[in-house]
Amino acid sequence: MTAPRIISAYEAEGLLRHGTDAELAAAAPDLATSIVALHARAEQAEANYRWMVERAADQRLDGYRELGARCAALEAERDAAAVLVRDLAAAVVALHARAELLDEAFTVITDGQVNVDWEGWCARVVRVSETIKVTP
C-alpha cells in the first residue's frame, strides 16, 4: 500500500464532479490526508498572521502611548496658560479702569488749563498695582 498523497484542489474538484464511486473510494485516503494537511497549513498561517499583528502592534503602541502622554502634558500646560491669560486680561482691564479714575482724580483745571498731578498719579498707580495679585 502506498502512502497517501496530497491532492490539489483542482484534482479534488475533478474527482467530485466526474469521478466514479470506485475512483472516489480509491481517492478517499488521499482526500482525508489533504484535508488534514490543509487544516494544519491554515492553522499555521493564522498563528503566523496573529504573531505578526501582535508584534507590529507592540512596536507601535509604545510610540502611541508616549505621544498620548506628551499630548496630555501639553494640554494641561495649555489649560494653565489659558487660565493665566484670562487672569492677566482681567488685571489689565482693572488697571485700565483704575487708571481712568486716577486720570480724572489727578487732573486739575486751573485758569482754563489742564494740569495733571503726575507725582500723585504715579504714586497712586503704584499703590493700586501692588494690591492686584496675579499668580501663575
**DSSP for 15-82, written as a single string:** HHHH--HHHHHHHHHHHHHHHHHHHHHHHHHHHHHHHHHHHHHHHHHHHHHHHHHHHHHHHHHHHHHH
14 in a structural domain: yes
Residue 1 is assigned to a structural domain of this protein: no
- Looking at the whole model, is its pTM more than 0.75? no
Residue 136 lies in a domain: no
Kindly state the average pLDDT of the residues 29-48. 86
Residue 79 lies in a domain: yes
Which of the pair, 82 or 136, is modelled with greater confidence?
82
Instruction: Identify whether 122 is part of a domain.
Output: yes
- Count of the separate structural domains present in the chain: 1
DSSP 7: P
How many other CB atoms are there within 10 angstroms of residue 127's CB atom?
Answer: 9
Residue 3 lies in a domain: no
Most confident of 72-76, 93-97, 103-107, 121-125: 72-76
Q: Nine-digit cell at 75?
A: 494640554
Answer whether residue 107 is part of any domain.
Answer: yes
Q: Answer whether residue 48 is part of any domain.
A: yes
Domain of residue 31, residue span: 9-131
> What's the pLDDT score for residue 48?
92
CB atoms within 10 A of CB 34: 19
Report the alpha-carbon angle 63-64-65, nearest 5: 90
CA distance 31 to 26: 10
